[in-house]
Amino acid sequence: MPSNFILLLILLCFWPNVSSHSMTSGKEELKDHFGVEDAQLDTVGDILIKLKKLAHQRIYGGREFGRDAVQDSMKPASISVEQPNVVKEVAPYLFEGDIFLSKKQAIGILKQISYMEKKKGRGRRSFHSDPDAKWLDSPIKYRFHESLDFYAVSSIIKGIRFWENVTCLSFENTHDVPAGEDYIEFFQGQGCYSMIGRNGGRQGISIGENCVKLGVIEHEIGHALGLWHEQSRPDALSFVKVQEDFILPSYISDFLQRDNDIDTLGLPYDLGSVMHYGSTAFSADQSSKTLVTRDPLYQSTIGQRETLSFYDIQTINRAYCKDDCAEHLNECLHGGYPHPSRCEECICPQGLGGTNCAENEPAKIFGYDHRAEILIWDLLHGIDGFVSLGSHDQTLKEEGRKGRYSSCVADTNCGGVLEVSSEWQIISSPGFPDPGYEPDQKCSWLIKASEGKRIEIRFVEDFSFLCTSTCVDYVEVKLSPDLKNTGFRSVEILEVQISLDLMYRLICCYDMPKESFVSEMHIAVIIFRSQLTNDVGFKAQLRQSKQFIYTYVY
């Protein structure tokens, strides 16, 4: 204990460009917004160092941990390129980059990891398995700290509303919470972080600078509801390979898999989960891949912070919601299921929509179409929520109110249901090739062939998207029978192999895939999404086929 505590102090002293005031600000921040005392913080910090030492020793043997830890503290670190770097002032108290553990959780993880280091083995156990960590009262109370600006508040409200819209959960904004009641306090802290599940009384969610992206907010709320990071699941290594040589040495412990405190609730691993690390998480040089997907087509899918995946949503619904819609189960197609609060509605996999998931997801042009609603947050009167005032063709002049646009239905040329034959048919992104697509567009196609046939897809003519390690502007292709899971967003496997890592080319970059892709059954889904830029986009040919082409190697 003493040696670990001294090391913790040394690490705090070595954070770059940190004054004596800011060196204590991380600890004070946690005390102010999580209702914890110095003793608990010291215990959690000490346990995290023990975890780091255990993992470091397993990889590096007798190599000095302290020197590696100090060197790592001077380098930027993040869990995804879509999420801001971990802020150094709070980093010594955070597990896996953005989780502030309770003392009970920290002790439990240390015991489990210590046991697993001695006895290698895992069960099939992304939700926190401790029943005491579930929120017992509905609605879940929350409040905003005065440190948040208007834009952050409106973004958090949007994230909360999304969780409410797709689950049975409800939230209530309250300014005064009676002593002893459980609630969440959103605040602008140093970075993006949260606790796992309900921990009793006040618990914070830090939405710091650059953390206001919707997927990041949904990610941190997900932690507070009980979600762990996806790659912490005990079955993770069947889907991703950890490249330990490229990880910052003192962060090896943030890639461990566990079973005792994680329950998958019978749902499959999801490489497209908003809770998944990115491919360069805690990379020593910020570019080398620390996580490589076993199926190389999914390499640029992991780490997305766009929004919740279908399985993220279903995990929370299974954990919290009563099964009151059993008689409606057969009405939702393609893996969809009845909304737990509105049984007549279906929650559909991404790319699918309609009353029973038999159609494509309605196209959206975010903040563009003339039918877009202006949604406002009334700060003067403290109303919890948005109010629709009409279309954006109208001028909003009400005193004390500010507006922004919501997503809306786009033109009918963007997506659709397409029945293919043996003749080639064409789909393309909006505006292809000139002037190209615009930011914030989404189109989905549900492609159908005859029973017993397959669908062949090939890209033609021109192809260009914003190039990022985690696809932000992309084409997503779902070829497997499980349309519920996220499709791949990277393509064209090259016949090159280095250290067992297959090379790949991103579907969100500039090189057009040369291969054809063939579905595993008579249905496929294609999703086009742009978030940040405008570019050429894609054009694809589709036809009915008997041939099966797409394969991958574990």
How far, in Å, CA of 101 to CA of 219, rounded? 16
How far, in Å, CA of 322 to CA of 219, rounded? 23
Q: Is the dihedral of CA 29, 46, 276, 337 positive or negative?
A: negative
How far, in Å, CA of 89 to CA of 31, rounded? 13
Ligand-binding annotation for 229, yes or no, is: yes
CA 417 vs CA 185, 411, 456, 479: distances in Å: 44, 14, 16, 16
Q: Which residue has the tokens 């390129």?
A: 81
Ligand-binding annotation for 381, yes or no, is: no
Q: Is 399 an active-site residue?
A: no
Supply the angle between the helices 38-60 and 65-73 in degrees, to the nearest 10: 110
Long-range contacts, stretch 334-339, CB < 8 angstroms, 24+ apart: 334/358, 334/483, 334/484, 334/523, 335/310, 335/482, 335/483, 335/484, 339/166
- Residue 314: CB atoms within 10 A of its CB come to 23
Length of the chain: 554
Ligand-binding annotation for 223, yes or no, is: yes
The answer for residues whose C-beta is within 8 angstroms of residue 246's C-beta and 6 or more apart is: 283, 284, 285, 288, 289, 290
Query: Which residue, among 259, 286, 141, has the nearest Cα to 200 in the 3D structure?
Result: 141
Peptide bond just before 139 cis, omega within 30 deg? yes
The answer for residues whose C-beta is within 8 angstroms of residue 498's C-beta and 6 or more apart is: none
CA atoms within 13 A on the CB side of 522: 10
Q: Return the HEC string of 141-166.
A: EEEECCCCCHHHHHHHHHHHHHHHHH
Strand partners, 426: 541
| Burial environment of residue 501 by CB neighbours within 10 A (0 to 12, 13 to 18, 19 or more) | middle
Among 89, 185, 218, 220, which one carries the catalytic annotation?
220
CA 263 vs CA 130, 132, 267: distances in Å: 9, 14, 9
User: Both ends of the chain: CA-CA distance in Å?
Assistant: 42
| Token digits of residue 236 | 């993770």
How far, in Å, CA of 375 to CA of 392, rounded? 10
| Token digits of residue 479 | 């070829």
Residues noted as catalytic:
220
Which residues are annotated as part of the binding site for Zn(2+)?
Answer: 219, 223, 229
Which residues are annotated as part of the binding site?
Answer: 219, 223, 229
